[in-house]
Amino acid sequence: MKRVIALLLAFLLVCPFVFANGSKESVPAEGGLGKNLVLYSTMTENDLNNLLKGFKVKYPDIEVEVVNGSAGELTARITAEKNRPQGDLMWGGLGNSDGQAYSEIFEHWISDYESEVMPDYRSNNGFYNLDHLSTVVFCVNTELEKKLGLDIKGYKDLLNPALKGQIVLSDPNSSSAAWNNLSNMMAVFGNDSKDAWDYIEGLMKNKLIISTSSSVCFKSVQSGEYVVGLTYEDGASTLLKSGATNIRMVYPQEGASASAFGCAVIKGAPHMEAAKAMVNYLMSADGQSSLGNALGTLRFTNTKAKYATTYLPASSEIKWVTRDVDWLIANKKQILEHWNKLYNSVN
Amino acid sequence: MEGHKKLDVWSLITILFLALFCLILVYPLFEILRQSVLDESGHFTIAQFVRFFSQSYYSKTIVNSFKVTIAITVVTLLIGVPISYFYSFYQLRGSKVIFVLSVLCCMSAPFIGAYSWILLLGRSGVITQFLSRYLGIKIGSIYGFGGILLVQSLKLFPLVFIYMNGAFKNIDNTLIEASANLGCVGLKRFFRVILKLSMPTVLAASLLVFMRAFADFGTPLLIGEGYRTFPVEIYNQYLGENGTDHNFAAAISVIAIVLTALVFFIQKWATSRYKFSINALHPVQKKTPRGLSGFLMYLYCYGLVAISFIPQVYIVYLSFRNCDQAVFKPGFSLANYQLAATKLLSRSIRNTLVLGVGSLAIIILFSVLIAYLVVRRPGFWNHLIDTLSMLPYIMPGSVIGIALVLAFGKQPFVLTGTMLIMIISLVIRRMPYTIRSANATLMQIPMSIEEASISLGTSKLKTFAVVTVPMMANGIISGAILSWVSIVTELSSSIILYNNRTITLTMSAYVAISRGNYGLACAFSAILTVLTSISLVVYLTLSKSEDISL
């Protein structure tokens, strides 16, 4: 009898520790660079495969495990794991308009190559290493465009009633790609100007579709669900690279701009040294050159990097506008609230 | 209770459960309440609630959720009750097939149906393309309200089906005959006698469908497009890329709990108005369907099940198709499965099994003990345990996920990212169901057998283990395998709690869909479908019955 109670008690008390230990075992604490590295990333499959390939050449002993997700998902996860970090670094989705938002969860550490980075894209918060640029583009389905008899060149073409319910954007409240597009509209039409909000209202009245995932804005355009997706260069051009012939990228004729995105080491990363090695690799001219050539879909920030952007137009063919990053950092919350209010009154 | 009683083993177990529930239920709930009334700097505020109700961008999600959930509940009743009626009152050929397939539909992972319907009926879906190319028919958008309604109704009607089968089986044939003698037959008899007699079950099924549909997160996320629902909003506030706001997410969660609790009590009240008991001494004699009505009956039953099952078949088919990221290409291969093998497939399967079996073992152990406490030793504390264990029933999965993160993401109990926190969430989410069925089972077992055992000198705990538990086994096992299936396909709280070490098959499939790797997603989903099918077959062969209690 007593033995049974003891057993039962023991079970109830011990079971949490058994399971807790079970998961701890898989986090080895090793010296040096270690063998494992957990990478949290928002980047595309293509980006990641090529990064891992290049990284493997330089560090053949490190096994990299990738956790894919949206920027919001990943930062929320890192915040939740703050007291027991599971990931080592994050790549992608960390934009220069975040400001100090994630100061608490990343190591305040900058790569050895910061001095080689284009001056505009040096870290503005002390923990983001901005390695690549993400320019806003429209991903247009050319078959459907032809069927509608349209020739989409810029923002004003999107107000055409023929495109009612055919334009897709992800939710700026939860997607960095959508926020990137919204930022560009502010740069084109004037920060918080009447023109900007009038345009956005017009877009919403043309039944702008809000999707939950940013990859929908290029993938579902290619598969024919939508005619136009407001998206970013890397996503759309990756489809071109994998052989899609029914889409094209349109840089809005009113002006395009880019957000710089980067990588950062997670605070208290279990494999700190390996994480820093990967950030250094991503920021170095060598790393960016080899990754750039393998991808052909991404523009990088290291001035010494030399690579071909096979699937992107030359920078000189695009009309650029500059965005006020500091203003965007300071006004993000208010812009989003304005957006939500407007969206609600239209729908 | 019988006055002043000596402390014995069972008192100890009561104390243990109280302590445990305080830790894994009360503490997280308290955390979510606390966070909902704090601002970023930690001061008391009700600003979060004001923000929610004053900005219709947010408050509209409640209206949307209620609208679509009520529509789903009504539609599932409209399509579920007839199929159950035909199934229970007529001798249908292949009735077992109808039953098994429809159960499989409601056991599938929550978002697979939505995803498959997009591929079939989306703007560039197979059926859409076919209709517009060859027949010139344009079907409207599958996204939004209509899409959620379609997917959820076809997924949840089996719950009504299963519940109603039980109720119809309990209807005594003499009542049917008596009403016929009084001239009440056909539809009139169906509404005035049969349906009225099964009203408590109709209400119970409605509540279950309502709770499931209200809390569902995967379907609106994929197919909702601009139709914003409550659980998705909670998720966005917690995991959104911009302006992530834990306090606001907590506030929305509190509102969600209050609303579902309200629905729960309304249902309780409605049920109390239909209290009666019937003894089915003369079970209903099944008739053979004949003629045109017979044909229509067959058409309805098989048609409904086929339509509901198509999505899963289509997913399995697609999993063998060649696929480059989002684009399906001609030709068949195992490439998607090979790709899955490089994407944590073996770990996902292992975690799924470990989590499933582990949680289930704990659920069964707890349920049996709690049922014993509640039924055999009723009293204030044991009823408190019972009530506490029912709390998660009214909490949407995403709320439980956030509550656990808020409670166990910081000292003194840092559990985020562990298997343990996943197990806790699965246990507290599924336990209410198993405790209900364990309670019901134990109530039917006469106490005299146990008393005999104890008076013959066997200890209380041993009596429980060797006498009571074996007698309860049947009732418990029937519920257990189904709990297992729902654990395996769990999404809404896991999505907040999982990470690369604790990833499950369902999560892998979800990640693949959300990253646009459609072929990969199909491969994971197909494996999941096979796993649930095997479980169900095992269950049916083990239990040798056609009954399923949820």
Q: Which chain B residues are closer than 8 Å to A7 by Cβ?
A: none
Q: Which chain B residues are closer than 8 Å to A172 by Cβ?
A: 242
Whether A172 and chain B come into contact, CB under 8 Å, resolves to yes
Q: Report whether pLDDT(A26) > 50.
A: no
pLDDT: which is higher, A203 or B55: A203
At B111-126, the pLDDT tens digits run 888 888 988 888 778 8
Q: Rounded CA gap, A77 and A263, in Å?
A: 16
ipTM: 0.74
Whether residue A83 and residue B122 make contact (CB cut-off 8 A), yes or no, is: no
Whether residue B225 and residue A211 make contact (CB cut-off 8 A), yes or no, is: yes
At A111-139, the pLDDT tens digits run 999 999 999 899 999 999 999 999 999 99
Q: Report whether pLDDT(B421) > 60.
A: yes
Is residue B470 exposed (0-12), middle (13-18) or buried (19+ Cβ within 10 Å)?
exposed
Q: What mean pLDDT value characterizes chain B?
A: 85
B413-417 mean pLDDT: 84
**Domain spanning A35-133+259-315: which superfamily?**
Periplasmic binding protein-like II (3.40.190.10)
Local confidence band at B226 (pLDDT 50, 70, 90 cut-offs): confident
Q: Which fold has domain A136-258+316-346?
A: D-Maltodextrin-Binding Protein; domain 2 (3.40.190)
Mutate to test the interface with A, among B241, B344, B458 (most CBs of A within 10 A): B241
Whether A215 and chain B come into contact, CB under 8 Å, resolves to yes
Of B124, B240, B409, the CB nearest to A223: B124
Please give the pLDDT value at position A12: 47
A97-122 mean pLDDT: 92
Of A84, A211, A223, the CB nearest to B326: A223
Window B:459-478, CB contacts with A under 8 Å = 459, 461-462, 465
* Token reading at B52: 């929610």
Window A:312-331, CB contacts with B under 8 Å = none
Whether A271 and chain B come into contact, CB under 8 Å, resolves to no
Of B73-82, B238-247, B458-467, which has the strongest mean pLDDT? Answer: B73-82
pLDDT: which is higher, B469 or B68: B68
Q: Per mean pLDDT, which range of A111-125, A313-327, B77-91, B459-473 is the poorest?
A: B459-473
Q: Report whether pLDDT(A25) > 60.
A: no
Please give the pLDDT value at position B83: 95
B237-255 mean pLDDT: 78
Q: Report whether pLDDT(A67) > 60.
A: yes
Whether B295 and chain A come into contact, CB under 8 Å, resolves to no
Is residue A229 exposed (0-12), middle (13-18) or buried (19+ Cβ within 10 Å)?
buried
Q: Rounded CA gap, A246 and A143, in Å?
A: 6
DSSP state string for B242-274: SS--HHHHHHHHHHHHHHHHHHHHHHHHHHHTT
At B366-408, the pLDDT tens digits run 999 999 998 888 889 998 998 898 888 888 888 999 899 889 9
Mutate to test the interface with A, among B40, B242, B422, B499 (most CBs of A within 10 A): B242
Q: Report whether pLDDT(B295) > 90.
A: yes
Q: Rounded CA gap, A181 and A257, in Å?
A: 9
Q: Rounded CA gap, B125 and B114, in Å?
A: 13
- Residue B241 carries which side chain, given as an amino acid letter? E
Please give the pLDDT value at position B160: 92
H runs (alpha helix) in A206-320: 216-222, 233-241, 272-283, 285-295
A254-275 mean pLDDT: 95
Q: Report whether pLDDT(A299) > 50.
A: yes
Please give the pLDDT value at position B413: 84
Whether residue A81 and residue B419 make contact (CB cut-off 8 A), yes or no, is: no
Q: Report whether pLDDT(A152) > 60.
A: yes
Please give the pLDDT value at position A32: 59
CA distances (Å), origin B386, targets A33, A183, B389, B435, B471 = 51, 53, 5, 8, 21
Of B56, B238, B517, the CB nearest to A344: B56
Question: Cβ neighbours of residue B249 under 8 Å, at least 6 residues apart?
Answer: B234, B237, B238, B402
Whether B195 and chain A come into contact, CB under 8 Å, resolves to no
Whether residue B501 and residue A73 make contact (CB cut-off 8 A), yes or no, is: no
Q: What mean pLDDT value characterizes chain A?
A: 87
Domains of chain B: 56-229+289-309 (1.10.3720.10)
Q: Which chain B residues are closer than 8 Å to A333 by Cβ?
A: 243
Whether residue A23 and residue B501 make contact (CB cut-off 8 A), yes or no, is: yes
Window B:422-441, CB contacts with A under 8 Å = 423
- Residue A335 carries which side chain, given as an amino acid letter? I
Window A:100-159, CB contacts with B under 8 Å = none
Whether B243 and chain A come into contact, CB under 8 Å, resolves to yes
Whether residue B501 and residue A26 make contact (CB cut-off 8 A), yes or no, is: yes
- Residue B288 carries which side chain, given as an amino acid letter? T
Is residue A79 exposed (0-12), middle (13-18) or buried (19+ Cβ within 10 Å)?
middle
Whether B140 and chain A come into contact, CB under 8 Å, resolves to no
Local confidence band at A15 (pLDDT 50, 70, 90 cut-offs): very low
Shortest Cα–Cα distance, A212 to chain B (Å): 7
